[in-house]
Structure 1
Amino acid sequence: MSFSFFKPSRPKTPPEVVKAIKDSLMALDIKTVVEVRALEKAMEEVEKNFVTFKIMLCGDAEAEPNMEHVSQLTIEVCKEDVIALLIHKLPNLGWEARKDLVHCWSILLKQKVDSTYCAVEYLENHTELLDFLVVCYDNKEIALNCGLMLRECIKFPTLAKYILESASFVLFFKFVELPNFDVASDAFSTFKDLLTKHSTGVANYLTAHYEEFFDLYEKLLTSSNYVTRRQSLKLLSDFLLEAPSSQIMKRYISEVRHLKVMMTLLKDSSKNIQISAFHIFKVFVANPNKPREVKVILAKNHEKLLELLRNLAAGKGASEDEQFEEEKEFIIKEIQKLSRLPNLDG
């Protein structure tokens, strides 16, 4: 008597797994799916294939991943254009499939085959996929999934550089103020990574797009939304005070329009925003090469500024408080000196 039908089915090879994923994703095409049941069946197939994909790529409770299979899987996913399918079909996927995809995404990107990051190289050659992920912030169903995938991409300098310099980058200035708080917060996390993960690339970008960028950024600093004002002010310090951005900072602190924004933020109703604004305002005042226009504004407004500064308290720990008070005293003295200078009456 034969019991061959009890034998477990042979595990799929990496090329077979990738082909199964590709076929099931293609079946999700709305144009080809006529019946609701057929669409449900296609979705079930996708989810089943994604589980196999995840286990092969990440392992499970019983076994570590076979690294040779992981490499093969990565090569096949790129060769068969499945990366493009994974991204373009995101809006069609169910919650579970999206979760599995996001889990696998960072592993795919970090996978090196013969010293090459295959998936990263694929995205470098198909940059429209990065634009697609950015634009997906407009779809709140998948915005958070796309945000996670984008932040994994941004870890790689070439991909971050593309997004920064792309036309889609300016969309972040809109996305960070979307009415959905979770989506806006996630968009700000991605925006922050773009401006802080690769300081040399950011400095190059800001040098080439200075006017356009700071025109848009000023709108964030003066937003009616408290969270936007606070986050963007803190982020400004994070990327402006980086060593590679020293020339950008010198330009920034020489311009009166930026000084006026900081002076306005010093009067903000939020103590946190006042403190953050002070840390940028002090750089304008401490600058030994202040342009005459900056000196004039500081001298003209010295009484209000001195009053604001004297009422400003850090309110953190003892050491931070002490350092803050020392910096504040120095800035107060600098403003007092300017107010006594002749020929600064405009």
Structure 2
Amino acid sequence: MSFSFFKPSRPKTPPEVAKAIKDSLNALDTKTVAEVKALEKAMEEVEKNFVTMRCMLSGDGEVEPNVEQVSQLALEISKEDVISLVVHKLPILGWEARKDLVHCWSILLKQQVDSKYCCVEYIEKHLELLDFLVVCSYDNKEIALNCGNMLRECIKFPSLAQYILNSASFVLFFKFVELPNFDVASDAFSTFKDILTKHASLVAEYLTGHYDEFFDLYEKLLTSSNYVTRRQSLKLLSDFLLEAPNVQIMKRYILEVRYLKIMMTLLRDSSKNIQISAFHIFKVFVANPNKPREIKIILAKNHEKLLELLNSLSGKGAEDEQFEEEKELIIKEIEKVSRLQSLKS
């Protein structure tokens, strides 16, 4: 005869886990929670349910996750509107709950059910959640890094990245990357970079339709008084502008005198890293076989200073040899342009 009075509790099923998460998140509504102790109990319940979700999605270190349960939980999370709830309740969650949520968010988005990303499809039907993540994330430094991680997971999917690119909230990144809090600004720049580099064809389409607006804002980053902003934005410009799908954008960019002048200014920057990054874009202006007359005039007028700058500039390590070869070609082209302009004047 067994005298065990304590039977192990039955593990919750995916529908039960999804419902428990939903109920505990709803209990955080401050309008319905009158007492501090009740709110604390609700928060504990949320944290406990998030731990259960995390274990079901990624195992507990000893037992691997059950593939069928993972799929079913992703489906139930979508059906029960839990995705919307966790996003909107994010600002009031505790540190541990946010950490578990970010971990689970990545797994849930990648989970396919019948060849469909059910959680991604849910967000496609509730795109305002992406705006919420963008606006709330970098306006609230407590949750900024959590939201940044969640946004970058979303950006991996073309449909969600396209929405962010074309949304009114996208231009906020030009402000966020210069926020005074270094960690928050760096995280915002990581998200900004992913938006502009993860899906080249989408970015090319966006830049074609928003060329003037985008590069007017980007010019402010390149000329920022903040060294980190100048360096990061210049490197990022090379990363997406010189990509094959953006060739038409690049051809348009290198026809404009204002942008040539920015690169010439950056060539004189006190930072060698910025000088070298500026050179890699400056050389495209110079090497362009279809340089407009205005570009040639600027190069000719400043050729002595440019040659002095370039001769004093050297590459780094393994790229030294290629850098020197490219620099020599650019120097020769500037000298050629200068001679031709002298003959015409």
Q: TM-score, normalised by structure 2?
A: 0.97
C-alpha distance in structure 2 between counterparts of 1:192 and 1:114, whole Å: 32
Q: Is the 8 A contact 1:295 1:344 kept in 2?
A: no
Aligned to 2:319: 320
Q: 1:62 Cα deviation (Å)?
A: 2.2
**What is the CA distance between 1:2 and its match in structure 2?**
6.4
Q: Which residue of 2 aligns with 1:334?
A: 333
SS of the residue aligned with 1:223? Answer: coil
Asked if the contact 1:299–1:344 (Cα under 8 Å) also holds between the matched residues in 2, the reply is no
Cα shift readout 1:263-317 (whole Å, capped 9, x = no counterpart)? 1101111111011000100000000011111111111111111111111111x22
Q: Give the aligned residue type for 1:104.
A: C
Given the superposition, is the C-alpha separation of residues 98 and 258 from structure 1 closer, same or farther in structure 2, using an over 3 Å criterion? same
Measure, in 2, the Cα distance between the counterparts of 1:91 and 1:342. 61
Contact 2:267 2:274 in 1 (8 A): yes
**CA 1:2–1:301 in 2, change beyond 3 Å: closer, same or farther?**
same
1:178-201, Cα deviation, whole Å (9 max, x unpaired): 000000000000000000011111
| Structure 2 match to 1:7 | 7
C-alpha displacement at 1:345, in angstroms? Answer: 7.5
Contact 1:266–1:274 at 8 Å: present in 2 too? yes
Identity of aligned residues (%): 83
1:198 alignment partner in structure 2: 199
The number of residues matched between the two structures is 344
2:297/2:341 contact within 8 Å kept: no
Which amino acid counterpart does residue 153 of structure 2 have in structure 1? Answer: E
Match of 1:128 in 2: 128
Moved over 6 A (4+): 343-346
C-alpha distance in 1, partners of 2:333/2:95? 58
Which SS does the other structure have where 1:235 is aligned?
helix
**What residue number does 1:99 align with?**
99
2:165–2:206 contact (8 Å) kept in structure 1: yes
SS state of the match for residue 22, structure 1? Answer: helix
The answer to whether the 8 Å contact 2:47/2:96 transfers is yes
**Contact 1:296–1:344, Cα closer than 8 Å, also in 2:** no
Tell me what 2:213 maps to: 212
Is it true that 1:148 corresponds to 2:149 in the alignment?
yes
| Structure 2 partner of 1:18 | 18
Q: One-letter code of the match for 1:128?
A: E
| Alignment correspondent of 2:83 | 83
Residue identity opposite 2:86 in structure 1: L
Runs of at least 5 residues in structure 1 that lack an aligned partner in the other structure: none
Q: Distance in 2 between matches of 1:179 and 1:345?
A: 51
The whole-number CA distance in structure 2 between the counterparts of 1:268 and 1:251 is 25
User: In structure 2, the residue corresponding to 1:65 is in which secondary structure?
Assistant: coil
C-alpha displacement of 1:4: 5.9
- 1:50-69 aligned at under 5 Å gives the runs 50-69=50-69
The separation in 1 between residues aligned to 2:236 and 2:10, in whole angstroms, is 53
The RMSD of aligned alpha carbons is 1.3
Q: Distance in 2 between matches of 1:72 and 1:326?
A: 58
- What runs of 5+ residues in structure 2 fail to find an aligned partner? none
Distance 1:326 1:95 in 2: 52
Is 1:28 aligned with 2:40?
Answer: no
Give the deviation of 1:342 after TM superposition: 3.8
Report the alpha carbon displacement of residue 9 of structure 1 after superposing the two structures with TM. 1.6
SS in 1 for 2:108: helix
| Cα distance, 1:7 vs structure 2 | 1.2
| Whole-angstrom distance in 2 between the partners of 1:58 and 1:163 | 29
Contact 2:268 / 2:309 at 8 angstroms: preserved in 1?
Answer: yes
Query: Equivalent residue for 2:43?
Result: 43
